[in-house]
Structure 1
Amino acid sequence: MDNIIQDFSENFIRHIEKYLDNLFEGEKKDISELIEIMQQDMDKLGREALAHVLEKMDQEIMESKERKKSWNIQARDMDKTLITQFGEVKYQRTYYASKNSEDTDYTYLVDDIFGIERYQRLDKGLELDLVEKAEEYSYQKAADMASKVVPLSKQTTLNKIKKLGKIDNRATDEKLEEKEKKKLKYLYIEADEDHISIQKKNRDEDEKDKSENKVTKLVYVHEGRQGARNKLKNVKFFSGIYNKSEDLWEEVLSYIDDIYDMDYIETIFLAGDGANWIKTGLKEIQKTKYVLDRYHLNKYVLKATGHYPKQRSNLWLGLNQAKIKWVRSTFKILSKEAENEEQKERVKEARNYIYSNWAGIENYANDPNSQVCSAEGHVSHVLASRMSSRPLAWSEDGADRMARLRVFKYNGGKKDDLFKLYEHKEKEKRIKMRTEKIIDHRKTLFPVAKETVPALRKGKVSGLQRAIRSLAF
């Protein structure tokens, strides 16, 4: 280890002083160049130090008395390459076979201790960085951002998302044991959808061969709005591609039943644009009252009054007061004033939409506990910004995974939570003995040296060398 640090220090000083000499000689330099020089040296130090730690640990395991009781050496100096944030770390380790006659276990004990899988190429921290960045960026851009030292492909990013699997919408829920259910009179559910392009073949992004649109559903439950910005209180998101809407609503109902006292609830307001899959929630969840999304209602008001804007306020007056006779009278005027078939068709389409969703209009107008719906905005932020606002085409499985990954983030999922999901999904082979018994803790792997970099004692001492000395001695 001393040699590694000495080599780093000498190269570090030499590279920086060369940069400074060029700067003082009048060459145009930028601070980013200096940062890059320092980063390259530190990455090299990280690679060499990590390889040294792994090989040193492997040596101690091999010499351990406890290891000799349970494991036979099968092969030595077996190569392994692990891609990390520092770059490619190459090291050698020992392959062992269990002495237990009933157990034919073969393994690399040092890899087991550090949690490195048999065929693992990427460090788990780097894998999680890929997944986190893929929540916001394309697979290739996520790969470029996560690993600046070793080039990675978009397929690598996709593989890590596949490895994570289908994330449960409730993956971030707290444990419910002995937790008292909340008692609220009113609860709110809002729902909308995002339309994405699905490919014929099982590919995920950046292809022109698009075939059909698929609906990615978004449902979220909350306890109302609070603050000047109307922030949703205790919001919980659900999303994915569901061929049966009932499956989605069963998840939502299960969540509500686990968190809230259903007997205490008086009304659950379900807001949406009137789509059939949203109205299915009225059948699946008791005590629900439908509220029509004002954003979509406004679209149809504009459609109906495009040729006669003077009647717009009149139509809104009837809608806001839920006066059906007033609305019908206004539609008669709009139909009469339509000058061609296209305008008449628009009036007819808007009228049919409003009449078929009249209960949602009436509930919003007459129930003081109902609230506006912000589903369109949430679909834009949670789903569309990553999945449909750019010219991407997905496989159905890829779209479902990404929708769930986005919801995982908006439900408060962090990097530590992703790591726990990885641990849960993986079926790692575990060694049969405790690692504490393999490693002799009576001696330290790296005794502290009084003088780690003797070379710094030589030659002319510069300000930079003094700074390095403070770290080295």
Structure 2
Amino acid sequence: MYELSLNDNGTNFKELEKKIYKYACDEACKVLKEILEALDEKLLKERDTKIYRNKGRKQTCLRTIMGDVEYSRRIYEFKLEDGKKATKYLLDEYLGMDTIGNISINLVETILTNVSELSFRKTAENIKLMCNQEISAQGVWNVVQTVGEKIKEIEDRKIELNDKGLLKGETETPVLFQEQDGIWLSIQGKDRPKGKSKKKELKLAVSYTGWTIRPGSTKEYSVVDKTVCASFGKVKDFKKLTEATIAEKYNVDEIQTRILNGDGASWIKATCKDQDIHFQLDPFHISQAILRNVSDKKEQKKLLHFFRNGKVTEGLEEITNLLILNKDDNKAFDKLVSLYDYLVNNIEGLVPYKLRDNIEMPQPPEGIIYKALGTMEHNICDVIAQRMKGRKMSWSINGADNLAKILSEKFSNRLFETVDKIYRNIIPNEILEDIKVVLPLTASEVNRKCKKSTVYKSASAQLPYSGAATTLGRKIIRDLCGLKSFSDIGYI
């Protein structure tokens, strides 16, 4: 290891890199300030003067990944339909700044990417390290709540359109697999349920079109076109949300077969009502129930074999025989009764979908195969549990719901697309091209005649340590100085 001392103060390369990065970010902030003020000037000239009256400039601050950009923009007065006066910033409206506050879309995306895996506090620390920006844990929380509420508005709009039959996706698939489950989260404050349990169930739904071989593997598979939605909402509302989420992506009229996999909860089976959806009891939960309630290893294997191969009658008869054999053992008997009741209550879903006579599976598209269902526990873990469960965490219902919305968008591979919808206004290319031309001048300087300026010749010199013995530190300094001429380097 070499300690790189680049000057008398002992600045090492790490500190030098940070200083250069900060300098570059500060310069970028100045450029962005000039662009925003130039765009504000353009909007001033193009506005309808009969509607919007210029009331002067006001300072504001835009938080970006490069740092805080302080700039001024004009406020305009206009009249409402009832004749009352109101004000607005045309620049803020044009750029969509009224959606998530004065935070740039890039900074929002960076925050959301971090907060989907880390705590609010750790996310704030990461933003400070990665960007020329400081934000508190409370600031991160505010961004999450704002984005979550905006996603809810988009979902409500989707549900409304789907109820009217106006939502129709472009993706066509012959088969759609759906899986649903719930996860119990600790609730805090006034939202905490009364009684023994201090938890509330967050519902999660996943849909996909099949499986494909994972790149670089010959045995591992991943699901295709995974779409996720989550909510604390009531059963009726959650059903509407899942249907709208599917209808937004898929052409539902072209789906020939739909299969729903779940643990047998009533709210999951309610999804199948009034729809041509085949319910299947999750194989994982069948195996889990058998292993928990049957102590004999041989009987466990026998029952697992029966139900995995769709031999429901034989499986239930075997449990009945075990009940007779264990009638004098109250503990074992009660467990077997619990197992029997669970299976009988979900008897319509015990036969795996591939073994059912009433399901004709269409030929899968090229590159896709149809496998046995049972990815829900994995999705519960990846989408929700790793971020929101354990580690002594507890949530308000609204706070958990908002973060769950963001996590659902992320695992549906559409988080940034959704953020773009929220920031629905963008700067057209032709506007930016116009701004680039006038960028060096202010509005008052545009029409001024150019004055004769004094030219100062810059002194020239060799690069430092030219002709001297080469060391690692000297080589780095020469390389840095060689990037541009000294006349182009700014000093602070």
**TM-score tier (shorter):** 0.7 to 0.9
State the AA in 1 paired with 2:483: A
Q: What residue is the counterpart of 2:444 in the other structure?
A: none
Q: What residue is the counterpart of 1:197 in the other structure?
A: 186
Within the candidate set 85, 88, 108, 2:68 is matched to 88
Q: What residue is the counterpart of 2:16 in the other structure?
A: 34
Q: What residue is the counterpart of 2:267 in the other structure?
A: 277
CA contact (8 A) 1:197 1:214 kept: yes
CA contact (8 A) 1:19 1:34 kept: no
Per the alignment, in what secondary structure is the counterpart of residue 20 of structure 1? coil
CA contact (8 A) 2:168 2:252 kept: no
Provide the C-alpha distance between the structure 2 equivalents of 1:70 and 1:303, rounded to a whole number of angstroms. Answer: 72
Q: What residue is the counterpart of 1:444 in the other structure?
A: 438
Per the alignment, in what secondary structure is the counterpart of residue 414 of structure 2? coil
CA contact (8 A) 1:172 1:417 kept: no
Provide the C-alpha distance between the structure 2 equivalents of 1:170 and 1:411, rounded to a whole number of angstroms. Answer: 18
State the AA in 2 paired with 1:143: A
By how many angstroms is 1:69 displaced?
A: 9.5
Q: What residue is the counterpart of 1:342 in the other structure?
A: 331
Is 1:182 matched up with 2:167?
no
Is 1:466 matched up with 2:482?
yes
Provide the C-alpha distance between the structure 2 equivalents of 1:180 and 1:56, rounded to a whole number of angstroms. Answer: 40
Within the candidate set 138, 146, 150, 1:163 is matched to 146
Per the alignment, in what secondary structure is the counterpart of residue 362 of structure 1? coil
Q: What residue is the counterpart of 2:202 in the other structure?
A: 216
Q: Name the CA shift for 1:195/1:325 in 2 (closer, same or farther; >3 Å).
A: same
Q: Name the CA shift for 1:261/1:50 in 2 (closer, same or farther; >3 Å).
A: closer
Q: What residue is the counterpart of 2:236 in the other structure?
A: 246
By how many angstroms is 1:280 displaced?
A: 0.9
Q: What residue is the counterpart of 2:279 in the other structure?
A: 290
State the AA in 2 paired with 1:160: V
- Alignment RMSD, CA only? 4.6
Is 1:143 matched up with 2:124?
yes
Within the candidate set 26, 31, 34, 1:44 is matched to 26
By how many angstroms is 1:231 displaced?
A: 2.3
Within the candidate set 225, 228, 239, 1:234 is matched to 225
- Deviations for 1:318-372, whole angstroms, at most 9, x for unmatched residues? 3234142454234533663588533333222222222222322235473285832
Per the alignment, in what secondary structure is the counterpart of residue 353 of structure 1? helix
CA contact (8 A) 1:172 1:413 kept: no
Q: What residue is the counterpart of 2:419 in the other structure?
A: 418
Provide the C-alpha distance between the structure 2 equivalents of 1:352 and 1:99, rounded to a whole number of angstroms. Answer: 68
CA contact (8 A) 1:58 1:110 kept: yes
Per the alignment, in what secondary structure is the counterpart of residue 373 of structure 1? coil
State the AA in 2 paired with 1:277: W
- Indicate the percent of aligned positions where both proteins have the same amino acid: 21
Provide the C-alpha distance between the structure 2 equivalents of 1:335 and 1:32, rounded to a whole number of angstroms. Answer: 75
By how many angstroms is 1:385 displaced?
A: 1.7
Per the alignment, in what secondary structure is the counterpart of residue 182 of structure 1? coil
After TM superposition, the structure 1 stretch with the greater mean CA deviation from structure 2, 271-280 or 253-262, is: 253-262
By how many angstroms is 1:411 displaced?
A: 1.8
CA contact (8 A) 2:59 2:70 kept: yes
Provide the C-alpha distance between the structure 2 equivalents of 1:274 and 1:220, rounded to a whole number of angstroms. Answer: 16
State the AA in 2 paired with 1:333: L
Is 1:312 matched up with 2:308?
no
CA contact (8 A) 2:168 2:251 kept: no
By how many angstroms is 1:39 displaced?
A: 1.9
Provide the C-alpha distance between the structure 2 equivalents of 1:65 and 1:291, rounded to a whole number of angstroms. Answer: 61
Provide the C-alpha distance between the structure 2 equivalents of 1:65 and 1:303, rounded to a whole number of angstroms. Answer: 72
Q: What residue is the counterpart of 1:396 in the other structure?
A: 397
Provide the C-alpha distance between the structure 2 equivalents of 1:60 and 1:260, rounded to a whole number of angstroms. Answer: 43
Provide the C-alpha distance between the structure 1 equivalents of 2:35 and 2:24, rounded to a whole number of angstroms. Answer: 16
Residues 2-151 of structure 1: matches in 2 within 5 Å?
19-21=5-7, 29=12, 31-54=13-36, 74-75=55-56, 78-92=58-72, 104=85, 106=87, 116=97, 120-148=101-129, 149-151=132-134
Q: What residue is the counterpart of 2:364 in the other structure?
A: none
Provide the C-alpha distance between the structure 2 equivalents of 1:257 and 1:70, rounded to a whole number of angstroms. Answer: 41
CA contact (8 A) 1:292 1:364 kept: no
Unaligned runs of 5+ residues in structure 1 are 1-17, 204-209, 429-433
TM normalised by structure 1 equals 0.72
Per the alignment, in what secondary structure is the counterpart of residue 467 of structure 1? coil
By how many angstroms is 1:181 displaced?
A: 7.4
By how many angstroms is 1:71 displaced?
A: 7.1
Provide the C-alpha distance between the structure 1 equivalents of 2:436 and 2:104, rounded to a whole number of angstroms. Answer: 29
Q: Name the CA shift for 1:150/1:363 in 2 (closer, same or farther; >3 Å).
A: closer
Provide the C-alpha distance between the structure 2 equivalents of 1:41 and 1:442, rounded to a whole number of angstroms. Answer: 22
By how many angstroms is 1:410 displaced?
A: 1.8
Q: What residue is the counterpart of 2:378 in the other structure?
A: 377
Provide the C-alpha distance between the structure 1 equivalents of 2:177 and 2:63, rounded to a whole number of angstroms. Answer: 46
Within the candidate set 130, 133, 137, 1:154 is matched to 137
